[in-house]
Structure 1
Amino acid sequence: MTGQIYHVGLTVSNLDQSIQFYWDVLGLQFQGEILMEGPETDTMFRRESCKARVAYLNGTDKSGMPPVKLIQFLDSQISKQSADLFTTSVSELCFYTEDIEKMYQHLQKHGVECLSAPQSFDFTARGFGKSKAFYFRDPDGIILEIMQPM
């Protein structure tokens, strides 16, 4: 019934700060920004007079990668909670890299909170291969992951 993932949406507290992080620090390409408002927006988000700034960023020109959609609700109180890998939710958004050690050093240089250094995994016995990965947080504390298949 469904097809490929169209985009991945993240609610953020400060759209400009998040665009800067995803664009300047992670290197995603800024695709554009829209303002959502009106009766359709109110109905979809189930909130009267709802206004949302929405930005789209993508890490590649390839059509197979869904963009990251950043949403900042205007004139609304956002409940900011610390992301937790052990709570039912989307646990993380994972990005591919060809050089995980370089990416880790890049994030460290920009003061990004990394939850660990890159770790090596070997799941070849289970048919998944080898990889290196680590988790880190965006400016709102949303957990992200960097992975390099080996």
Structure 2
Amino acid sequence: MSEHAPIRIENFSHVCIGVSDIDTSLQFYRDVLGMDVVFDVALEGPSLAAVTGREGERGRMVGGLIGGTMVELLSLGEVSQYAPGPHIGYTNMSLRVEDADAAYAQLQAFDGVVCKPPVDIGGVRMLFVYDPDSTPIELVELPAGAATTDQLWRPTAQ
């Protein structure tokens, strides 16, 4: 793998945490950890299916700052207490790249690296690359010159 240049990472974007009950989790993160809510969006459609691998899923994502770090809470519907599935707990870390399509093209040059093509969700272009243990790492391209997800949702933060 060392014969190719690494992907240029602009900065850390966010941590995503899958939750079983978004309202209860939001209350905890806001009241106990002081989350400053920045956005609250509904999720559905082909782009979500491309990321989750399952058609017809709907969800909700709430993001906010905790100690200056963006944390996203992700809920994708009903979860059995006996089989929580792949979307509870840590789901991925996210790193910002300047151009998701260029990053995807660059990743294709590495033998054995698994990644999915970029998709658009909520105005953000993103793709997932998987480490050797299949841990997802999200690479995001933020629109309109935003350098952080806080700037994306609060344009006056620039």
Tell me which interval the TM-score lies in, with the shorter structure as reference length.
Answer: 0.3 to 0.5
Q: Which protein has greater RCO, CA pairs closer than 8 Å, 6+ apart?
A: 2
Q: How high is the TM-score relative to the length of structure 2?
A: 0.44
Q: How high is the TM-score relative to the length of structure 1?
A: 0.47
User: Which structure's CA Rg is the greater one?
Assistant: 1
